[in-house]
Amino acid sequence: MKHRTTLAVALAPLGVGMALAAGPSYAGPTASKTTTFAFQGSGFGTRVIGGQVPVGSATTAYQSIGCTNQAGRDRTNNVAEATVPGLGTLTGVRTRVWTTSKHGRVASHSTHSITRIVLSQSSLGSLTMDALRSTSVAYHDAKGFHARTSTQLGDLTFTPPVGDPQTFPAPTPDQPVAIPGLATIYAGQHATRHSGTHAMANAFALRIDVIPTGTSVRIAHSHAELSSGLTGGIFSGRSAATHVVTAGGDIVKSGPNPLTVMPCQGTYGRTHEKSLAAGDLGGQLIVKGADSRERGSQGDHRARGISRAEVARVSLGGQLVIDGIVGKVTVKRVGRHVHRSAAGTLLGSVTVAGQEQTFPKTGVLEIPGVAKLERGVVSRTHTGIKVIGLRITLLDGSGAVVKLAEAALRIKGLPR
């Protein structure tokens, strides 16, 4: 059973401005070592979710190392002082992410520390917490993959305008601290997992639910990942059956769905797949049989991947029916040579009021007053390719744009 400690303190909520006193900084040059492991790491001071807070106030002191096979990377981001909307003031905010390979132990590291948080400050006094820290490490040694996390929390201190400060124990997983009318403070969470090919560690030191603004703030976050088999290239890709990029009328904007993302090291030859039986995009636009999948593998100086999405049927008011929409891309890398293909991208049939339609050679079919259909929309880069199986632009005055069977993949070369 969870217990809650209540502090009988009435404090006025803070304003919503943010001021940063310092920007990101990077550690000096360190010796780099090429490995066959995929390192990833990130961290941030605060992340504000929901409630009456501007979108731009999402994170402070964010830093990351993207997918790399290089040990010896080291990055930091230091912020001397920040006022976080709906929360309070932070000082001494520091994120560090780095990669190592030493004495047979390869590791991805992430730490975040905050010297002090002033949760609220007013004529009635202030409530502070000192010395917050989270650490995440994902590593590999002679015994395999491992992951570990740790967090540190200081005491809560209430300082009245007159009199001595009062100190309260920090929240624990079983005992959050409740401040009437202001916030509930929870101890952070830890998550680790490992397998024969991968390790992940994730932690944040504190969570604060701010009552006046309805926001939830995660504080002192660290994240580290390590995977094996990065020998032929770095993957980046995703697939989605539907994606409403421009809303209009009854159609609501929505992100890629169902979304399947390619891990940076690939999938070790296994298929990662998500599917939905049916979905309503609004405006009588109904999708059935939505599926997305990724598969990638690599060997010595070579890598190959497939990204594929499919929609079995889409119907607009029953008058426009489109069957068999498939978007598929394949990328192969051998050394510096990259081959990209959209072979396998298909469109079955288009029927309007019971009459089957034929696409002209331009690949664009316009149905007056209903929709413009563009099939097999392909874009290429030096390292990858993207395809949209079918792009629909409604011509009913709403201007809604829907992408169906969207697939993208690229394979970058490895730093050496």
348 with 202, same domain?
no
Mean pLDDT on 156-169: 80
Collapsing DSSP to helix, strand or coil, 23 comes out as coil
Mean pLDDT on 86-108: 92
Q: Which two tokens stand for residue 186?
A: 């929870």
91 with 176, same domain?
yes
For residue 30, the model assigns a pLDDT of: 53
Asked which of 202, 227, 252 is the last residue of a domain, the reply is 227
Q: Is the pLDDT of residue 389 over 90?
A: yes
Q: Is the pLDDT of residue 297 over 60?
A: yes
- Round to whole Å and give the CA distance between 239 and 99: 30
Q: Is the pLDDT of residue 370 over 50?
A: yes
Q: Do the bridges between strand 88-102 and strand 105-122 make them parallel or antiparallel, or are there none, so unpaired?
A: antiparallel
pLDDT digits (tens, 9 = 90+) for 136-151: 999 999 999 999 999 9
295 with 356, same domain?
yes
pLDDT confidence tier of residue 170, bands split at 50, 70 and 90? confident
346 with 216, same domain?
no
For residue 9, the model assigns a pLDDT of: 43
CB neighbourhood size of 343 (10 A)? 8
255 with 321, same domain?
yes
357 with 291, same domain?
yes
Q: Comparing C-alpha atoms, which of 292, 227, 234 is closest to residue 258?
A: 292
307 with 376, same domain?
yes
Residue with tokens 């094996």: 228
Residues with Cβ within 8 Å of 332's Cβ and at least 6 positions away in sequence, in order, are 302, 303, 304, 338, 339, 411
For residue 11, the model assigns a pLDDT of: 40
For residue 5, the model assigns a pLDDT of: 52
- Round to whole Å and give the CA distance between 147 and 209: 28
Asked which of 227, 245, 275 is the last residue of a domain, the reply is 227
203 with 251, same domain?
no
Name the domain count of the chain.
Answer: 2
For residue 51, the model assigns a pLDDT of: 64
For residue 21, the model assigns a pLDDT of: 39
pLDDT digits (tens, 9 = 90+) for 174-231: 888 877 667 788 998 999 999 999 999 999 999 988 777 777 888 999 999 999 999 9
**% pLDDT > 70, the chain:** 88
- Round to whole Å and give the CA distance between 261 and 408: 10
For residue 2, the model assigns a pLDDT of: 54
Residue-averaged pLDDT of the chain:
87
Q: Which two tokens stand for residue 247?
A: 């809303």
pLDDT digits (tens, 9 = 90+) for 256-280: 999 999 999 999 999 999 999 988 8
For residue 407, the model assigns a pLDDT of: 98
Concatenated DSSP letters for 389-402? EEEEEETTTT--EE
281 with 333, same domain?
yes
Mean pLDDT on 75-104: 90
Q: Which two tokens stand for residue 204?
A: 């944040």
Provide the residue type at 291 as one letter. D
| Opening angle at CA 363, ends 359 and 366, nearest 5 | 65
Residue with tokens 């390590």: 226
pLDDT digits (tens, 9 = 90+) for 16-62: 333 333 444 444 445 689 999 999 999 999 887 766 554 444 578 88
CB neighbourhood size of 166 (10 A)? 14
191 with 326, same domain?
no
For residue 371, the model assigns a pLDDT of: 93
Q: Which two tokens stand for residue 388?
A: 């949209």
User: Per this entry, what is the length of the chain?
Assistant: 416
Q: Comparing C-alpha atoms, which of 119, 20, 154 is closest to residue 77?
A: 20
Q: Is the pLDDT of residue 124 over 90?
A: no
383 with 258, same domain?
yes
- Round to whole Å and give the CA distance between 134 and 115: 12
- Round to whole Å and give the CA distance between 145 and 28: 29
Mean pLDDT on 154-168: 80
pLDDT digits (tens, 9 = 90+) for 54-72: 444 457 888 999 999 999 9
Per the model's pLDDT, the better-predicted residue between 295 and 171 turns out to be 295
Q: Is the pLDDT of residue 113 over 80?
A: yes
Asked which of 227, 250, 268 is the last residue of a domain, the reply is 227
Mean pLDDT on 235-258: 91
160 with 119, same domain?
yes
Domain of 98, in residue numbers: 5-227
For residue 48, the model assigns a pLDDT of: 78
